[in-house]
Chains A and B, each alone.
Chain A
Amino acid sequence: MNVEIEVNGKMIKAKKGEVILDALNANGIHVPTLCHLEGFKPSGACRICVVEAEGRRELIPSCSHPVEEWMKIKTHSPRVIKARRTILELLLTCHSGGCINCDKNQTCELQELAAELNISEHSYIPGSRRKRIDVTSPSVLRDPAKCVLCGRCVRVCEEVEEVAALDFLRRGSRTEVGTVLDKGLNYSSCIHCGQCILVCPTGALQEKSSFDAAVRALQDSGGYPVALIDPALAASMNEWFGYKPGLDFTNLLATALKRIGFRKVYSSAWGNEYETGLAVDEFFKLRKERGDRPLFLSGCPAFVRYVEQSRPDLLNDLLPVRPGRQIMTHLLKKQQDGSVVFYLTACTAAKSEIQSQDRISRPTFYPDFVLTAREVYKLIRLFGIRMEDLAVETQQDLFGAQVRSGYLHAVTGGYLEAGLRIIRSRYPGTSVPHDKIAKLKGLKDIKECSFELEGDNIHLAAIGGIAHFEDWLKETASRKKQAHLVEVMACPNGCINGGGQPITGSDRNLRARIKAVGEMDDLYSGVETRDKMEIPFDFTWAEDDLEIKFGIRSVIR
């Protein structure tokens, strides 16, 4: 049902029950916000979005107040502007002002807001800004001095990931966002998914950067730097450089990286596809003895971390297969001595993975550096390369034959889709009809499909976000849902929304990234999905190399 409200003297249409902000946005009226997060319940914490409603003594927050018929709203009246400016000035008194040194410089929402409200001086005497930086986590760096306490990370951590590693501590003006017992992030239940980084409006949350060391290693003349590009990164990198979202950027990125000094640039899709083949093997090996108890794919490092930390009862349900990035890194290092592998990824959890215990005994399985999309962008800028002027000079290097399904891993459901392709080619009798499974595509929290093989009805599910996973588990416990093989990604919609992605993520961008991944898939549609992948050089696997055996996972089998 629609109602009409008056905004700044003009009548606009609004849906009954929606919040004022949505109605304003739908009508192209801009109101600044800070704590607002699309798709979440409004928190109403920052009060930047207040508007004046006639007949109300106080100003009302447009992000959380529902539209009512009587409303006559002013979005930029003197009272509103004064309130907004005062609030922002107050906020800036406890924000560390070192913008130049800040990771988020020029992409910071607070900076933008200050520019929008034209804050040019400190009206209020600033308070203490000295706060301890939390460097304990291998993946996420927290700088509380830059935190504006908007609570976005707290909401994401609790509502999307159900990990609640971050929450508010203390009260009053000493309130801070922190971890349990105010210890470091490594002490908390953090699973390194990095979703908090994506929503942080300032530089208070960023990835733990290995940028300087990476540059040094890259410029080391004795090394053989190899880049391994995550397809999820190739689908989003263009957003940094002003391109329209939704482009396959692999080759342009390869060109740039080769200029910088990488000797080889591979896509990790080959590894992913190899992993998929192994996973299919393992699944059918375990299928019989397990009955209806679901098995979980162990591709997502954040999910594996979650299981280790919070769901040890599911440890034996993880498929014991090494992730493709590790397989490929191992092969690259075996193929060429002295290889220094840079894994360019959209995943912050991969940063924590390379610091696992297993690396001590099996160093060759781990990339030497993990760089997120943001770090790759900085790297390209550091070497003075202007992507805008760059033309494709070289293609990505091929590790063995070209692959196709491996690219799909970037989106939830992609792993399963790739697996189904293998199953289809291996068992002609299955009921898998097509290459592309529509049920496993698109922006969905939980994707489900099923197929039949020799009278055995096998259900599959792909879940993005730990909260959805927990919901799903509850539903399976009450027998509302079931699945035999489950793909869980800690980030909603998978790696295309990973914690290391460019901070431009809206649903529109995500759709574009999905489209780009689909394009990669289409590009090699002539390539057949092979049942067995050939390793392009003389190599045999050691006995248990492909089983995941690190950390707590050594208890598996």
Chain B
Amino acid sequence: MISGVIHEQLRADLLKFLLQEDPGADPELRKKQKILRRERIENAVVLIDTTSPTSIYPLDALKADIEIWEASSGIKVDIVETGSLGLISAGPVVGIQIPGRARLYYGPVQVGDLQGILGAITKQVVPEENLIGQMILGNQQAWEGIPSWEDHPFFKGQERRVMGLCGVVDPCSAADYIAWGGYRAFSKSIRFYTDKELMKLIEESELRGRSGSGFPAAQKWIRTAATVGEKRYVLCNADESDPGGYMHRILIESNPHIILEGVMLAAYIIGANHAIIYTRSRYRMAVRRLQCAINQARALGLIGQDILGSGYTLDIQLRRGPGAFVCGEETALIASLEGKRGMPRTKPPYPATQGLFGKPTLVHNVETLAQVPLIIGQGPEWYKRTGTESSRGTKLFSLSGKISRMGVVEMAFGTTVKQVIEGWGGGIRNGRPFKSVLMGGPSGKFMSDAQLKVPIDFDRFDEAGLVMGSGSLVVLDDESCPVNLMKNMIDFIQQESCGKCIPCRDGSRRIKDIFEMVTSRPAEERSHAALDRFKGITQVNDLATVMQETSLCGLGKTAPNPILSGFELFRQELEEHVFDRTCRAGVCQNLRLFAVDPVACNGCNICYIKCPEKAIIGSPRQVHYIVGELCTGCGKCHEVCKFNAIIVS
């Protein structure tokens, strides 16, 4: 059940937090704030990261562990479900805090670990295995000799603003968010400031949209606000679906209230009384937490009629889309919300003048809107302190692929991708050599070594011909095949294209077919296949150019990016696929050829037993042999052989 119930007493306290000029000055409130922030606690507290990446772990077993320990030791433990600190690869991250002492974060925590850790900590000893660091809140007593969590290589140097409260607050609790200063920007704004004054702040902050192109937000806002009409809408695009991108989802699941506050502020500033958050029904946890946040905000009177006595009315709805990549495009998103098929339409008119139901509409993604409370709350001067001249503030990146530490990092603009990968990402997994990185998912580009040193900045990236996209980084090492990745990306596009315009719909499919031919099984080649393959590969460039030039929406226009950049960077590898029919990374299953090393093979027969295609012949204690025509390249024999007798070529 999605609850939004807030206790009467708590509600009164929270409103005091929101309405008083300086809640810190009131000792009574200060005390309550400390309790809500968990600076001062009565029982031991265990904070468990419960975002969707950790849902693969047996969190219930962890909780059972704690309960067993509670029963045996007699010490009461409160379990709090929080969001994620951003470090996904060390999941689940667990924070442990005993009264008076600083909080300790551990990760990864396995079932059975917790009893020992809890036992030690209550005896004032800190086990150092899997320790991330300590987090000192308020005037808690620090643990001696234990590093701060901010010195952990994944967090060191991050500029955590939007992510600031992620992993610290309970995402399902408005009280947590308010105790940390949330909603104050909104409550102040609607009571003391006019929309014009606030718009000025947004203009001064030089906020740019975080969805990829970096369009100056203020321009959009002013245009939407200036369009004459009774009704205006704010739409928040929370339907992130880049393969490899998950920062928005983590942000929503860890701190939905900051997004809500951003939406509220945007709505107030442009003069909208309706706002809609569009997410997808498959993101169940995000939906649940956003709905919970909306219910709580409504219970507190932050949504509804005459908010906090200011006379401003705002209604926020959560809508769930069925899940389509193209619905991230603003006009497709609007069509989907109107109950139509999620297909983009031609622009102009832009949504700022004719959007949802023909009314002026402001569309932003989660990350952009989450910046707004910070800008309003701390002021544009503070906001502009980080970042570069042309790109202010911070940007979220999600790291995935062959990288040591995966997760969501927030860093100031101006950092380079190299720093991201080598610093926070911890370099390539298992120390293998770096090959490339695909930045921006299916609409992004592969980056060369030189491009890795380009500072992350909208203008600099534009000059260098790079694509920031929404901020997903997929790292490739020498064991990953860029051709395969290109194929996957264009396959994703040809499945997710809305099917409206020909270049995107048929162009992507044709390119995918060509890649299909390039990675087809040589053994099954028919008479003209080689010719078709050669012809196809010469056509890809033309097709990609036409797609870029003529597609209706951004999806089609950017879809060939991985292909074109990949062609430039990995010409050699591509030619090997096309002409030599080999995949040097050994990823393209159809191009893998397996053979038995007669010297190493001792005839254990395991490969013979495990081969699903019955492509291996041989009897015990005899050297085995792989029949090339039958082998599908699945690699099962390679996996099971204990004597390294199966060679990949």
Residue of B nearest to A79 (CB): B549
Given contacts A86-B543, A87-B546, A125-B513, whether A46 and B508 have CB atoms under 8 Å apart is no
Chain B contacts with A in 505-546, Cβ cutoff 8 A: 505-510, 512-513, 532, 536, 539, 542-543, 546
Do residues A59 and B496 form an inter-chain contact, with CB atoms below 8 A? no
Residue of B nearest to A167 (CB): B341
How distant is A22 from chain B, measured CB to nearest CB, in Å?
A: 15
Interface stretch (choices B343-351, B373-381, B427-435, B448-456): B343-351
Q: Which of B341, B343, B506 has the most CB of A within 10 A?
A: B506
B326, B513, B550: the one within 8 Å of A50 (CB) = B550
Do residues B505 and A175 form an inter-chain contact, with CB atoms below 8 A? yes
A149 at interface by CB-CB < 8 Å = yes
A31 at interface by CB-CB < 8 Å = no
Given contacts A44-B345, A124-B539, A125-B536, whether A173 and B499 have CB atoms under 8 Å apart is yes
Residues in chain B near residue A91, CB distance under 8 A: 502, 506
Residues in chain B near residue A79, CB distance under 8 A: 549
A44, A86, A167: the one within 8 Å of B546 (CB) = A86
Residues in chain B near residue A175, CB distance under 8 A: 497-500, 505
B50 at interface by CB-CB < 8 Å = no
Do residues B494 and A173 form an inter-chain contact, with CB atoms below 8 A? yes
Q: Which of B496, B503, B539, B551 has the most CB of A within 10 A?
A: B503
Chain B contacts with A in 481-510, Cβ cutoff 8 A: 493-503, 505-510
B348, B500, B506: the one within 8 Å of A66 (CB) = B348
Do residues A172 and B494 form an inter-chain contact, with CB atoms below 8 A? yes
The answer for the CA separation of A64 and B551 in the assembled complex, in Å, is: 13
The answer for the CA separation of A98 and B503 in the assembled complex, in Å, is: 23
Do residues B539 and A90 form an inter-chain contact, with CB atoms below 8 A? no
How distant is A273 from chain B, measured CB to nearest CB, in Å?
A: 45
Residues in chain B near residue A502, CB distance under 8 A: none
A170 at interface by CB-CB < 8 Å = yes
The answer for the CA separation of A66 and B346 in the assembled complex, in Å, is: 11
The answer for the CA separation of A48 and B546 in the assembled complex, in Å, is: 11
A108 at interface by CB-CB < 8 Å = no
B324 at interface by CB-CB < 8 Å = yes
B348, B501, B542, B557: the one within 8 Å of A45 (CB) = B501
A65, A82, A125, A173: the one within 8 Å of B506 (CB) = A173
B273 at interface by CB-CB < 8 Å = no
B548 at interface by CB-CB < 8 Å = yes
Do residues A86 and B346 form an inter-chain contact, with CB atoms below 8 A? no
Residues in chain A near residue B494, CB distance under 8 A: 172-173
Residues in chain B near residue A288, CB distance under 8 A: none
A65, A123, A151, A168: the one within 8 Å of B346 (CB) = A65
Residues in chain A near residue B307, CB distance under 8 A: none
A76-103 Cβ-contact flags toward B at 8 Å (1 or 0):
0001001100110011011000000000
Q: Which of A59, A123, A125 has the most CB of B within 10 A?
A: A125
Do residues A173 and B557 form an inter-chain contact, with CB atoms below 8 A? no
How distant is A533 from chain B, measured CB to nearest CB, in Å?
A: 49
Residues in chain A near residue B498, CB distance under 8 A: 171-172, 175
Do residues A171 and B501 form an inter-chain contact, with CB atoms below 8 A? no
B552 at interface by CB-CB < 8 Å = yes
Do residues A171 and B503 form an inter-chain contact, with CB atoms below 8 A? no
Residues in chain B near residue A127, CB distance under 8 A: 509, 513
Given contacts A44-B345, A91-B506, whether A172 and B495 have CB atoms under 8 Å apart is yes
Residue of A nearest to B550 (CB): A47
How distant is B107 from chain A, measured CB to nearest CB, in Å?
A: 39
Do residues B499 and A87 form an inter-chain contact, with CB atoms below 8 A? no
A163-195 Cβ-contact flags toward B at 8 Å (1 or 0):
000011011111100000000000000000000
Residue of A nearest to B342 (CB): A171
Chain A contacts with B in 20-75, Cβ cutoff 8 A: 42-48, 50, 57-59, 61, 64-66
Do residues B549 and A172 form an inter-chain contact, with CB atoms below 8 A? no
The answer for the CA separation of A125 and B533 in the assembled complex, in Å, is: 10
A47, A83, A125, A173: the one within 8 Å of B497 (CB) = A173
Residues in chain A near residue B503, CB distance under 8 A: 47, 83, 86-87, 90
Given contacts A47-B550, A90-B503, whether A42 and B536 have CB atoms under 8 Å apart is no
Residue of B nearest to A41 (CB): B345
The answer for the CA separation of A172 and B500 in the assembled complex, in Å, is: 8
Do residues A171 and B502 form an inter-chain contact, with CB atoms below 8 A? no
Residue of A nearest to B546 (CB): A86
Do residues B502 and A47 form an inter-chain contact, with CB atoms below 8 A? yes
How distant is A56 from chain B, measured CB to nearest CB, in Å?
A: 10
Given contacts A58-B549, A61-B346, A124-B539, whether A90 and B507 have CB atoms under 8 Å apart is yes
The answer for the CA separation of A90 and B510 in the assembled complex, in Å, is: 8
Do residues B510 and A172 form an inter-chain contact, with CB atoms below 8 A? no
The answer for the CA separation of A65 and B349 in the assembled complex, in Å, is: 9
Do residues A46 and B499 form an inter-chain contact, with CB atoms below 8 A? no
The answer for the CA separation of A93 and B505 in the assembled complex, in Å, is: 12
Do residues A171 and B346 form an inter-chain contact, with CB atoms below 8 A? no
B505, B508, B513, B557: the one within 8 Å of A58 (CB) = B557
How distant is B424 from chain A, measured CB to nearest CB, in Å?
A: 34
The answer for the CA separation of A58 and B532 in the assembled complex, in Å, is: 29
Do residues B539 and A123 form an inter-chain contact, with CB atoms below 8 A? yes
How distant is A305 from chain B, measured CB to nearest CB, in Å?
A: 25
Given contacts A79-B549, A86-B543, A173-B497, whether A125 and B532 have CB atoms under 8 Å apart is yes
Residues in chain A near residue B501, CB distance under 8 A: 44-47
Residues in chain B near residue A86, CB distance under 8 A: 503, 507, 542-543, 546
The answer for the CA separation of A170 and B322 in the assembled complex, in Å, is: 12
How distant is B493 from chain A, measured CB to nearest CB, in Å?
A: 8
The answer for the CA separation of A45 and B343 in the assembled complex, in Å, is: 10
Do residues A59 and B341 form an inter-chain contact, with CB atoms below 8 A? no
Residue of B nearest to A92 (CB): B506
Residues in chain B near residue A42, CB distance under 8 A: 346
How distant is B166 from chain A, measured CB to nearest CB, in Å?
A: 33
Residues in chain A near residue B539, CB distance under 8 A: 123-124
Do residues B508 and A173 form an inter-chain contact, with CB atoms below 8 A? yes
Q: Which of A66, A149, A173 has the most CB of B within 10 A?
A: A173
Do residues B551 and A168 form an inter-chain contact, with CB atoms below 8 A? no
How distant is A198 from chain B, measured CB to nearest CB, in Å?
A: 22
Q: Which of B326, B494, B509, B551 has the most CB of A within 10 A?
A: B509
How distant is A410 from chain B, measured CB to nearest CB, in Å?
A: 35
The answer for the CA separation of A58 and B542 in the assembled complex, in Å, is: 14
Residues in chain B near residue A87, CB distance under 8 A: 502-503, 546, 550
The answer for the CA separation of A79 and B548 in the assembled complex, in Å, is: 12
Given contacts A124-B510, A149-B499, A171-B497, whether A45 and B549 have CB atoms under 8 Å apart is no
Residues in chain B near residue A171, CB distance under 8 A: 324, 326, 495-499
Extra A-B contacts (15), CB below 8 Å, given A58-B549, A61-B552, A87-B546: A47-B501, A58-B551, A61-B346, A86-B543, A86-B546, A90-B510, A124-B539, A171-B496, A171-B497, A171-B499, A172-B496, A172-B497, A172-B508, A173-B494, A175-B499
- Could you tell me which B residues sit within 8 Å of A by CB distance? 324, 326, 341, 343, 345-346, 348, 493-503, 505-510, 512-513, 532, 536, 539, 542-543, 546, 548-552, 557
Nearest 5 pairs of A and B residues by beta carbon = A175-B499, A173-B509, A44-B346, A90-B506, A64-B346
A–B Cβ pairs within 8 angstroms, 7 of them: A86-B503, A90-B506, A90-B510, A91-B502, A124-B539, A127-B509, A173-B494
